[in-house]
Each structure stands twice: as structure tokens, then as C-alpha cells.
Structure 1
């Protein structure tokens, strides 16, 4: 049985084998055509000879020994089947012309039957050749597709130093077992590299997450500390608190009216317990006077200086 090649096993030697098989199939088809014609002729002749011999044997029993002997002598001396059939026809009372015509007709029938059989075999051989050529063309196209982009490397250079096209050249000429082993090594290396990268990435993310949580805790602590000081300042001066900032409705604004001017701060919702003594903002309270952050802390510094000056003054007698 002819080996069937696939895209994974096709090689230059395999293509040469397919070409050789195609040429051999064509030669066999021609030989079959000639041999079939010869065999058909011989088979037809043998059949006719057997039929004629049987008919002659039966007829000779009813004929005179002289007529029978004459017919047998003619058959033995015949040079071809036409002469045999002519002798038999004359034995049964046919004229030589009619017996010869009958013999030629029978021969033509045998030849036609033989040619039909040979033609059928020839068609079968042609179909086999066509299938072989189609398979060859398919495999050749598959080889072209698989080898697209490859480049023959320098034989003196190690495979590890090859370029991508040169590596593909080596891959396309490797056995299936070698390809599977190489693919497994690549996958193992990729998994190991991915594991190392992901592990380090996760560690880095965990570190960043811890830093973010620490920074958030420190920020909340700073807000809490500031809220303590603001609550104390609000206890010293007229103050009110309410959600007066539409850009931050969850953070109420605490406004302190001091001799140095108005000051205001946003209070975190979690620090609301520290300013429960401050009355809510109402219609009688003065709203934000438009001071900036810089102006607020300038006023706070002025208030601090005034308080220090007051403390430095000698007590009244």
C-alpha cells in the first residue's frame, strides 16, 4: 500500500516519491492498455476454440467419418481463427464466404469486448493517476504555506543564534517527535516565566496596596487631628456648620467668625462627633465671605499674634 503523507510529514523526498508514483502509474496504464487488448484477444480465441471444439465433437458423431476427418484436418491446418470458423461453417453446410464472414464477426465481437474491458481498466488507472496528482498538488501547496517566511540559515551558526525565519527553516525540517519536544520546552519556559512575573507583580501590588492603606490611614489621622483643633477654635468664637458647598455635599463646612476675619474648613463625616457643639447653619448666619485658603491662614496667623500680645500684656492692677 502506498504511504499517505500529511502536512506534518511531507518532505522533499516525499514529493519526489509522489512524482515517481505518478509516472509509474502512467506507464502502468499504457502497459495495461496493451496487455488488456492482447489478453482479450487470447481469451476470446480460447473461448471460441472451446466452443468450436465442443460443437465439432457433437456434430462429428452425426457425420460420416470422412466428412468429420476432413473438418478436423482443416482445423488442424488452420493458420488463424478465421480459418477455423470457416472450416466449421462449411462442416455445418455453410458456404465458405458465409462461414468466413461469421468467423470475422465473432472475432470482432471478441475484440470489442476485450477493448471495452481494457478501456475500463484504463479509466480506472487514469482516475488513480488523477487522484495521485491532486494529492501531490495539495501537499505541494501545503508545503509552500508551511514554509512561507523561512530562510535557510548559516550551517555554522548555532540554532540558538538563528533569526526567526531561520528558526522556522529548522522547525519545518524537524521530525514530529523533535517538534513536540521543542514545543513542550517552550511552553514550560513560558509558564515558568509567567509564574515569576505574576508572582513579583502580585508582591508589588500587595506592597502598593499596603502603602495606599497606610497613607489613607495617615491622611484620616491628620484630618482627625485638624478637626480637633477646629472644634476648639469653634468653641472660642461664634461658629456654625452646614452642607453649604455644593461641590462636596457630604463634607459640611464649619465657619468660624473671629476678630481677624472669617475662617472655614470642610469637616469629614467621620469627624462629625467632634463638632456636635457647633450650631447648624441657619438663615441668620453669615455665609462664606469668599476668602481663599491663603487668606484664611493669614487671618489665623493674625489671630494667633493677637492672642500672644494679649498674653504678654501685664495683668491689670
Structure 2
């Protein structure tokens, strides 16, 4: 090429400088200086020599969508994002095309999320619903309001204690109690007896204490201690802390990033969804991480069983 038409007459490795930035096209990674690399434009179908020719870039990070693993830059990879081009949404629980942030009924069970949270049901689980305004459910028991604030539970021989929509302190007796916290950051103590406790929505603190208790945390980041006895504990949604203490306990975290500690004797721990931490403690324990990046530590028992954990430690 003659010097008149050569942008670099003294450099045999270069002849053209499309964007006139002083770097020849052979060395320039963005020939038209439009903010997208030549490699990306070629891969995505735009012209690397034409400034006005750009590949689609939803989040404006100069990485075209066809090469970007997170098109809307919301921190969730496109492969796991139900709405890869909408930074305001990532999840669509019921698959109706409306993201959870905008959807008033995430699980499409016919009850609004607000209503379900208020009554202690799970707004992300279609099988978890509120019963009528005059009734509640707890671990298979249906509670009927017989007078203002007074409830009965069919098939239960024991006390029925029901909280309010505020932060309550609820204490059971030395016998069998059924305790429902409902909304609010409740403190619930079961004391003795084989108690059934449903903490409901809110950041609750629950102590089962004596007896073989059945405890459900509900929505919110709960702190639940089973106490003495062979307890069954379910955290529900939220980042929960579950502690079995003594007894052969069965504990499941449910949704959220949970911390589950078995304590003494032979415990069965399950993380469920979320990035969970499971600690068996003493005894021969069974630990199953579930979905998410979980960590499991067996503890001092010699016969622990650990599965579905990204990180695992056993004696």
C-alpha cells in the first residue's frame, strides 16, 4: 500500500486506523472505539468497523448480551434468572410470567402474599394457605375461635395458646400445649410436656424445653431450641438457627441459609434449600445438606453419615 493511503507508512504491521486513535486495527481491540471489543461484536453480529453498529447490551456494561453471563447485572446469572433482562426480578415461583417482587400472589394459591404472611402461612408454598378468619392451623391441628381470643383444637388434650399480630411472650404449662405465635417477633417457651408450637411469621425465639416437642418456625429468621426430649423442628422460610440440645432430634431448615446444630445423641439434620451449615455434635448423626452450597460437620460421633454437602467434615 502506498504511503498516501497508509495510516502507518513506517510500520509494515499496520495500514489502517478506523477510529483514528493512533493504534492500528491489527493491534486495536476496539477498532471503531464504540466501547465493545471487536471479538464481542463479531461474536454477536455487529460491525466492529462501524461506530453506530452495536450489539445489544442490556445493562450497559460494554459486554454484549450474547457474551454476558448476567445481562441485567442483578447479581444472578442468566442461567438461574427467570428474568435475565430485568434487573428488578429474578424469581417466578408460580411460573405465571410475573416476578415475585411484582406478583401479589407468588405461589398462585388464591391468597395474597400479605394475607398469608399475616396468618403465618408460607407465601411461596401453594400447599400452605390460611384457613378462615375464625380459624388457624398448626402442624395438622385446626384451631377454631370459640370466643374472642379463645381457641380450641379438635383432637388435642391440652392447652391452646394463641398470640396476636404483635410481638408476644407465650409460655406453656408443664403439660401438653399447642402454641401459635402468629405475627410479630414472638418469644415462645413450651416448658414441659409434648408441645406443638407454630411460631408463625416474624423473627421468633422458641424454646421447647422438656418433652418430645414438634416445632415449626414459619416465615422469618427464627432461633429455635428443642430442649430435652426427642424433638422435631422445622425452620420454615428465613435464615434460621435450630438447636436440638439433648435427645434424638430431627431438624430441617427449609428455605433460607440456616444453621442447624444437633447437640447430644443421634440426630437427623437436613438443610433444605439455601446455603446451610449443619453440625451434628456428639452421637452418631445423619446430616444431609440439600440444595445450595452447604457445610456439614459430623462432630464427635464415630458413625456419622454425611451427604449432599459442598464442604464436609467427619471424625
Query: If the length of structure 2 is used for normalisation, what is the TM-score?
Result: 0.24
Which one has the bigger strand percentage? 2
Point out the structure with the larger helix share: 1
TM-score of the superposed pair, with normalisation by structure 1: 0.24
Structure with bigger RCO (C-alpha 8 Å, 6+ apart): 1
When Rg is computed on C-alpha atoms for both structures, the one with the higher figure is 1
